[in-house]
Amino acid sequence: MQLFHSARFFISVAELAGLPAAALPEIAFAGRSNAGKSTAINVLTQQKRLAFASKTPGRTQLLNFFELSERDEHGQTVPRGYLVDLPGYGYAKAPEGQRAQWDALVGGYVAHRQTLVGIVIVMDARRPLMAADEALIAFVDRPSCALHFLLTKADQLNNSEKRSALDRARQRAAAIGPRASAQLFSALKRQGVDELESTLAGWLRG
Ligand SMILES: Nc1nc2c(ncn2[C@@H]2O[C@H](COP(=O)(O)OP(=O)(O)OP(=O)(O)O)[C@@H](O)[C@H]2O)c(=O)[nH]1
Ligand SMILES: [Mg+2]
């Protein structure tokens, strides 16, 4: 989908006071450190190094905003929304102070951002819905904010493992209600990209 391919780096935010004016719908990518958030954004936007992916957990420390835009009939670029790459949680080796900073920054953003229409919760398909994921789900108890469980690294599972991970995530989504959904994804094999695009496009349409 062209809209996602239009993504361009917009701003990095280190504190809540630095957030851009809340004007357009925002979709955040959250998840445990190293789950594959930045990689999923790069696959979705078809850009190799838009979001900074790394083997080192805890790499993304800021809220990174990417602007999505379309061209109008006059050829002018019109912003339509933002993708937001969030720093990962649950990194055991993170110092206490860093964790407190995460809670304040990401927690504050997720809890209060009026234009946040949905959160993609990126989880390693081999260990979905861990305690830290559940803590986030409980935290985003807001009917206006959709949730999509992206079970990534599906290339690391066999078919029966994939089925059971997806079943579990779909049951969890069903327990939350119609604002929640789940899918398998592999950045490596480019699997599940269409499904992710159509879910997020639906959120942006409102
Ligand atoms: N096999 C496989 N590896 C993946 C996939 N997606 C991401 N990875 C790898 O997982 C590691 C972490 O990916 P990132 O996208 O940097 O993870 P992140 O969630 O952004 O991590 P933080 O920014 O530290 O929170 C990298 O080594 C990626 O190459 C996938 O679909 N399959
Ligand atoms: Mg990252």
CATH of the domain at 72: 3.40.50.300
Pocket test for ligand 1, best of 29, 34, 99, 133 (most atoms within 8 A of CB): 34
Pairing of strands 26-31, 63-71: unpaired
DSSP letter assigned to residue 107: I
C-alpha to C-alpha distances, 7 to 50, 57, 58, 116, nearest whole angstrom: 8, 24, 23, 17
The order of strands in the sheet holding 26-31 is 8-13, 63-71, 77-85, 26-31, 116-124, 146-152, 180-184
The total number of structural domains in the chain stands at 1
Please name the residues in contact with 197: beta carbons below 8 A apart, sequence gap of 6 or more.
1, 4, 44
Whole-prediction pTM: 0.94
Residue type for position 192: G
pLDDT at 1: 59
Residue type for position 60: T
Ligand 1 and 32: CB distance under 6 A:
no
Going from the first residue of the chain to its last (206 residues), give the mean pLDDT of each consecutive group of 10, the final group possibly shorter. Answer: 90 92 96 93 92 64 91 92 90 72 86 96 97 92 94 98 98 97 98 98 92
Asked if residues 109 and 116 have their Cβ atoms less than 8 Å apart, the reply is yes
| Domain extent at residue 11 | 2-205
Which residues surround the ion ligand 2 when the cut-off is CB under 5 Å?
Answer: 37-38, 60
CA Rg value for the chain? 16
